[in-house]
Structure 1
Amino acid sequence: MSLINTEVKPFNATAYHNGEFVQVNEESLKGQWSVFFFYPADFTFVCPTELGDLADNYEEFKKMGVEIYGVSTDTHFTHKAWHDSSETINKLQFPMLADPTLAISRNFEVLIEDAGLAERGTFVIDPEGRIQIMEINAGNIGRNAEELLRKIKAAQYVAAHPNEVCPAKWKEGEQTLAPSLDLVGKI
Structure 2
Amino acid sequence: MLTIGDKFPSFKVKATVSTDLKSAFSEIDENTYGGKWKVYFFWPKDFTFICPTEIAAFGKLNGEFEDRDAVVLGGSTDSEFVHHAWRVHKEELNDLPFPMLADVSHALCNALGILHKEEGVALRATFIVDPDNIIRHVSVNDLDVGRNPQEIIRILDALQTDELCPCNWQKGEDTLKVA
* TM category, shorter: over 0.9
Identity of aligned residues (%): 37
Alignment of 1:29-178 (within 5 A): 29-158=33-162, 164-178=163-177
Separation in structure 1 between the aligned mates of residue 156 and residue 85 of structure 2, nearest angstrom: 31
Q: 1:52, 1:91 within 8 Å by CA — same for their partners in 2? A: no
- Matched with 1:4 is 4
Normalized per residue, the structure richer in helix is 1
Instruction: Output one character per residue of 1:76-121: Cα deviation in whole Å (capped at 9) or x when no partner.
Output: 0100000111001113110000001111111111101432200100
Give the Å deviation of 1:2: 5.1
Secondary structure of 2:32's partner? Answer: helix
Separation in structure 1 between the aligned mates of residue 111 and residue 95 of structure 2, nearest angstrom: 28
- Matched with 1:17 is 17
Partner amino acid, structure 1, of 2:66? K
Choose 1 or 2 for highest CA Rg.
Answer: 1
Partner amino acid, structure 1, of 2:54? E
Secondary structure of 1:28's partner? Answer: coil
Give the Å deviation of 1:175: 1.1
Q: 1:76, 1:97 within 8 Å by CA — same for their partners in 2? A: yes
Structure 1 residues without counterparts, runs of 5 or longer: 159-163, 183-187
Q: 1:29, 1:129 within 8 Å by CA — same for their partners in 2? A: no
Root mean square deviation, CA, Å: 1.3
Secondary structure of 2:170's partner? Answer: coil
Q: 1:36, 1:68 within 8 Å by CA — same for their partners in 2? A: yes
Structure 2 residues without counterparts, runs of 5 or longer: none
- 57-66 or 39-48, larger mean C-alpha shift: 57-66
Separation in structure 2 between the aligned mates of residue 178 and residue 73 of structure 1, nearest angstrom: 43
Q: Please identify runs of 4+ aligned residues in structure 1 that moved more than 3 A.
A: none
Separation in structure 1 between the aligned mates of residue 123 and residue 40 of structure 2, nearest angstrom: 12
Secondary structure of 1:155's partner? Answer: helix
Secondary structure of 1:111's partner? Answer: coil
Cα 1:2–1:178, aligned 2, differ >3 Å: closer, same or farther?
farther
- Matched with 1:161 is none
